[in-house]
Structure 1
Amino acid sequence: MRSFSKKWRSGSGWLGCLTSLALAVALALPAYAGSAVEGARIWPAPDHTRLVLDTSASVDHKVFALSSPARLVIDISNASLKADFDRLDLSGSPIRRIRSAPRNGSDLRVVLDLETDIKPRSFQLEPNQQYGHRLVVDLVKEGGGGAAVRPPQPVLSDNDAGKRDVVVVIDAGHGGEDPGAIGPRGTREKDVVLRMARTIAELINQKPGYTAKLTRTGDYYIDLRSRTLMARKHNADLFVSIHADAFRTPQPRGASVFALSQRGATSETARWLAKSENRSDLIGGSGGVSLDGKDDMLAGVLLDLSMTASINSSIGVGGHVLNRLGRVTSLHKSGVEQAAFVVLKSPDIPSILVEAGFISNPQEEKNLASSRYQQKVARAVFDGINEHFSQTPPPGTLLAWQKRQGGNGSAANQYRIRRGDTLSAVARENRTTVSELMRYNGLSDDQVIVGQTIRIPAS
């Protein structure tokens, strides 16, 4: 008994051997357990295709491209395949077929047979509300980023030769593998904001003197910097990013409008000055000022001036949009807020971010999923944009020309009466008087009806 107790305390003997063996097995288990590829999704976009592999844990991997024929090889260490690649819809992507096989005993090799050569990039994503661990592989079209960039050409209005349209870029947030915020009933932000962005774009394109462009037209992801680059590519007069807010508790509610904060402007100025490739970019839009050849002090001053002007203009248009939103929904804050959102950081394009409501609030989630509510919010955003540019049209645009002409019956100076409108409210918003509106439209009294179109004299 004394001998047994001594061996128990020292860890020697048969019990020590068992303990050592158990420890060795425990340490060895992770090495043999490995990871599994449990699912896959494909998100085709205009300039790239994203392949997402759901994995049971983070993985070590290598990605490389081969030519003649075009292929992409994905090697995943210590992994097995549980997904069925045959069930993937490859239409709209450069992938013709996906093959897979074990490699080196415990590894997995996935081969994509491609229609054309691509540039691959890969990274991993941590679990979120909807998905677990993911390995993301982007197939970027060859030559997509290497072509020479031509200066953007103004969009000429069909109504009047030589007078350009006001260009508004509408950005639907999130997309593809990034669902954005998810409501209690499972409503996804990316779906709601895409529908609203499309509606806003349709309203803008129907208005003479305007052209709308969408940053994304389908369910795919675009990185934040590329969204603002697209606005510069289209020589936009305004960039509007549409989102749906969320909070950790269900109580917060109401729509918001954001412009860039001064702190965000300061950091962006520093980033522009630090990157030499930005020096050839113009500030102030087409025909603006190039930073190329300017010393740091002068370039910094020019950027500060441009940033300040853009922020002031953003707050101005944001105020009009917020005012219109307040007529169709509750507001989270009564004024335009400011924050350092990346998508607002274009130094020469006024930019706003519209939070259409809190998708984390059960009632607002129900509203946001409703097509009727989406139409109301989209109409309010459009009306705010139109109100802003009607008052302060950019030089050289059809709207500016029409304002100088006094609005001689042009469609851009007409207003369609909506439910809740009064002639006095319309007069106040357009900086004129009820008597002037009555005289200009041949009205005998100040009564108007829904659907009636009236002409607005120049302010």
Structure 2
Amino acid sequence: MNIKIVISIAFFLSVGSIYSQEINPKKRIIIDLGHGGKDSGAIGVNGIKEKDVVLLIANEILQLNTDLFENRLDIYLTRYKDTLISLKNRSYIAKVLKPELFISLHCNAGQSNAQGFEVYVTHASNNASQIKKSIALGLSILQESTMKLGIKERGIKFENFYVIRETTPICPTALIETGFVTNDDEAKYFQKGKNIKAMALAILSGIYNYLKL
């Protein structure tokens, strides 16, 4: 989806939010898909691209929210296809939509023996309450994913990445590194549709658990 379209939708929703709250009690969340377009992100040892993996996971999250959770969450993506959205526009969407939470999906890269699932939150916010909520959100997704998928847990880490820094003052925000595409086993894991679905379900379940839905 073109960023202009996304922002137009976001503006429309923000204007109508006062009137829709009583009609639509769903909690709104944003899932940000890392990279896209000419920016492939990390490239796996088997040739898979981070931008494609996160798009597959996000689409499964949308489908599972419908199939298993009766659309109890109102989920918006920062991109719906292979397009590059600027970091500024990603955070702008959150500023307009004012979601309950913001998740940024990524795949990791490193040495060939590096593996596991990790979460980043910002430490560069004056809002201590939002940082605590972001940590709780990250822990919920981390625990759900590592326990159910058997992936190594690499913990919660603090960084000053643009998107999480700019979005945390608006809502609890976590950047998810779902695994290392530079690791042979994890790169192969992402090639199977059933594993993408399992990853999506773990992340979505972690979100539902955090929101106590």
TM-score interval, smaller chain = 0.7 to 0.9
Does residue 344 (structure 1) correspond to residue 206 (structure 2)? The answer is: no
The Cα shift of 1:150 comes to 6.6
| Structure 2 contact 146–153 (Cα < 8 Å) conserved | no
Aligned to 1:355: 177
Task: For residue 176 of structure 1, give the secondary structure of its aligned residue in structure 2.
Answer: coil
Instruction: Please list every run of 5 or more consecutive structure 2 residues that lacks an aligned counterpart in the other structure.
Output: none
Does residue 259 (structure 1) correspond to residue 81 (structure 2)? The answer is: no
Q: Equivalent of 2:29, from 163, 168, 189?
A: 168
Distance 2:20 2:156 in 1: 32
Aligned to 1:219: 82
Task: For residue 326 of structure 1, give the secondary structure of its aligned residue in structure 2.
Answer: helix
| Structure 1 contact 254–329 (Cα < 8 Å) conserved | no
Q: Bigger CA drift: 234-243 or 204-213?
A: 204-213
Once the two structures are superposed, the pairs formed by residues 211-250 of structure 1 within 5 Å of their partners are 211-247=74-110, 249-250=111-112
Task: For residue 199 of structure 1, give the secondary structure of its aligned residue in structure 2.
Answer: helix
Letter in 2 for 1:355: E
**Highest Rg: 1 or 2?**
1
Letter in 1 for 2:89: S
Letter in 1 for 2:31: I
Does residue 310 (structure 1) correspond to residue 130 (structure 2)? The answer is: yes
| Structure 1 contact 198–214 (Cα < 8 Å) conserved | no
Does residue 199 (structure 1) correspond to residue 21 (structure 2)? The answer is: no
Distance 1:386 1:360 in 2: 30
Q: Which has the higher contact order (CA 8 A, sep 6+)?
A: 2
Letter in 2 for 1:225: K
Aligned length: 204
Does residue 330 (structure 1) correspond to residue 151 (structure 2)? The answer is: yes
The Cα shift of 1:257 comes to 1.4
The Cα shift of 1:332 comes to 4.0
| Structure 1 contact 325–331 (Cα < 8 Å) conserved | no
Once the two structures are superposed, the pairs formed by residues 109-188 of structure 1 within 5 Å of their partners are 152=14, 153-154=16-17, 156=20, 161-162=22-23, 164-188=25-49
Distance 1:222 1:332 in 2: 29
The Cα shift of 1:317 comes to 1.2
The Cα shift of 1:225 comes to 1.7
| Structure 1 contact 201–214 (Cα < 8 Å) conserved | no
The Cα shift of 1:341 comes to 1.3
| Structure 2 contact 115–179 (Cα < 8 Å) conserved | yes
| Structure 1 contact 238–351 (Cα < 8 Å) conserved | yes
Distance 1:209 1:186 in 2: 36
Distance 1:190 1:184 in 2: 15
The Cα shift of 1:245 comes to 0.1
The Cα shift of 1:207 comes to 3.4
The Cα shift of 1:163 comes to 5.4
Using structure 2 for the length normalisation, give the TM-score. 0.86
| Structure 1 contact 199–378 (Cα < 8 Å) conserved | yes
Q: Bigger CA drift: 199-208 or 359-368?
A: 199-208
Distance 2:136 2:186 in 1: 27
Instruction: Please list every run of 5 or more consecutive structure 1 residues that lacks an aligned counterpart in the other structure.
Output: 1-44, 49-140, 266-303, 391-411, 413-459
Letter in 1 for 2:195: Y
Structure number having the greater strand percentage: 1
| Structure 1 contact 255–329 (Cα < 8 Å) conserved | no
Identity between Structure 1 and Structure 2 (%): 28
What do you get for the CA RMSD once the two structures are aligned? 2.5
Deviations 1:310-334 (A, max 9, x none): 211110111111110112132241x
Aligned to 2:50: 189
The Cα shift of 1:199 comes to 1.3
Deviations 1:207-239 (A, max 9, x none): 353110010000010011211111222221110
Structure number having the greater helix percentage: 2
Distance 2:7 2:182 in 1: 38
Going from structure 1 to structure 2, the CA distance change for 1:215 and 1:336 (only over 3 Å counts) comes to: same
Distance 1:184 1:151 in 2: 41
Distance 1:355 1:150 in 2: 32
